[in-house]
Amino acid sequence: MKDVSVVGPEAGEVIDLGPARVRILEDGRTTGHRLGIGEITLAPHSAGPPQHRHARHDEGFYVVSGTARFTVGTTEHDAPAGTLVMVPPGAPHTFANPGDEPLVMVNTFTPDLYVQYFRDLRDAAAGGQAMTEQATAEVMERYDTVVTTEFA
């Protein structure tokens, strides 16, 4: 018999990354590593990661509250609560919270590669490494992800 995962509102692994907080809801153990799910909370007027491309996984964002601003190449999309954004491998993207309220999104990764990325960022910061764009890019590279510089 397979185990079912139930993660309550106060449960899950919490990873604090400065203005971002990631709560891991599914780390891949229940799904045979086919799917990872996190809840991202981003402080008001905060940028997300540098624009990047994933080579091996799809990424989804469902905006629960607030408004996200997704940048895809040079195009910006404002995404209010209730919006779903799906990013296939190879698509350049990033997000930010331009608003006055916290942004909360459910973030999916298929397969679950990016769960460990968030843990690695936390560990690097806890080890005293400054979370510069270059340091973030180095962690991203471990998960077949590259920062896109052609749109900077």
Prediction pTM value: 0.92
Number of domains in the chain: 1
* CATH number of the domain residue 41 falls in: 2.60.120.10
In a domain, 97, yes or no: yes
Please provide the average confidence, as pLDDT, over all residues in the chain. 93
Tell me the average pLDDT across 66-80. Answer: 97
pLDDT at 119 (0 to 100) = 94
Decide: 17 and 121 in contact? Cβ < 8 Å.
yes
In a domain, 82, yes or no: yes
- The residue range of the domain holding 52 is 26-147
What confidence tens digit (pLDDT) does each residue in 96-151 have? 999 999 999 999 999 998 899 999 999 988 888 888 888 889 999 999 999 998 86
In a domain, 95, yes or no: yes
Burial of 30 (0-12, 13-18, 19+ CB in 10 A): middle
In a domain, 6, yes or no: no
What confidence tens digit (pLDDT) does each residue in 25-39 have? 999 999 999 999 999
